[in-house]
Amino acid sequence: MTDSTRKYWQYALWLAIITIFYNILEGLVSIYFGASDETLTLFGFGVDSFIEVLSGAGILAMVLRIRQNPDTSRSQFEQTALRITGAAFYILAVGLGVSAIYNLFTVHQPETTLPGLIISLISIATMWALVSAKRKVGRALDSAPILADANCTMVCIYMSLVLLASSLIYQLTGFGLVDSLGAFGLIYFSVNEGREAFEKAAGMECGCGCEGECEDCTETH
């Protein structure tokens, strides 16, 4: 492994660590304000952030493994992390679906969506920076897993856009049902991410929009 390659794997390591710690912070803040302001979309967004921490832990383990020995196969921890992540996304989708339907029938309205507006803007900017950095590192290392992780981070941007739209519409119009509609948007992405996590755990495909199939994503780097 050349010095340049080692440098880029070090970058990949730091990107994985930053992703984990940012999602922990984002999850804590989002769940707090989502619960206190009774904003379902923001609360669900916060729960999603903690699920992304599980996914990030698997990516961190992968980076550490490949840095030490590029020819090793995916570890049991990585596969377990993916399966837990997939199950958590499905549970989140069910929970959001039940809560959204209940809120629609009870015509529930959040106290305010201003925190969701601010958090979504910060998230979009942060995640876009991470996507750009991961793609740069992934291309430099010719690493399909890192490029796939960048595409997964793009999904976080899409979810942030859902939160931004629902928060902004409520702030401008006071249309309370938009919060439940935003939750349905999160359900769509949660189901997709859950399915992709199980597919990657089974070694079916690179996942998260990565074109082409491989026996094991971590074998290509």
Q: What is the mean pLDDT of each run of 10 residues along the chain (221 residues)?
A: 83 94 96 93 94 87 80 72 88 93 89 94 96 93 83 90 94 90 93 87 54 40 38
pLDDT, residue 213, reads: 37
* Residue 88: count of CB within 10 angstroms of its CB: 21
> In the block, which residue shows the tokens 């094991």?
216
pLDDT, residue 1, reads: 64
How big is the CA angle at 45 (ends 105 and 145), to the nearest 5 degrees? 135
pTM: 0.83
**215, part of any domain:** no
**76, part of any domain:** yes
Residue 174 domain boundaries: 3-206
Closest C-alpha to 110, from 45, 51, 13: 45
Kindly provide the residue ranges of all beta strands, DSSP E only, lying in the chain, ordered along the sequence: none
pLDDT, residue 74, reads: 67
**28, part of any domain:** yes
In the three-class reduction of DSSP (H, G, I as helix; E, B as strand; rest coil), residue 126 is classed as helix
**Tokens, residue 220:** 């290509």
**143, part of any domain:** yes
**113, part of any domain:** yes
Look up residue 67 and give its amino acid: R
Q: How far is CA 139 from CA 4, 134, 147, 158, in A?
A: 13, 8, 7, 23
**41, part of any domain:** yes
**117, part of any domain:** yes
Closest C-alpha to 45, from 167, 133, 134, 137: 167
Q: What share of the chain is helix, strand, coil (3-state, %, to 5)?
A: 80, 0, 20
> In the block, which residue shows the tokens 């999904």?
155
**Tokens, residue 154:** 């793009």
**211, part of any domain:** no
In the three-class reduction of DSSP (H, G, I as helix; E, B as strand; rest coil), residue 88 is classed as helix
pLDDT, residue 187, reads: 94
CATH number (domain holding residue 114): 1.20.1510
- Of how many residues is the chain composed? 221
Q: Are 82 and 58 in contact (CB under 8 A)?
A: yes
Q: Count of domains in the chain?
A: 1
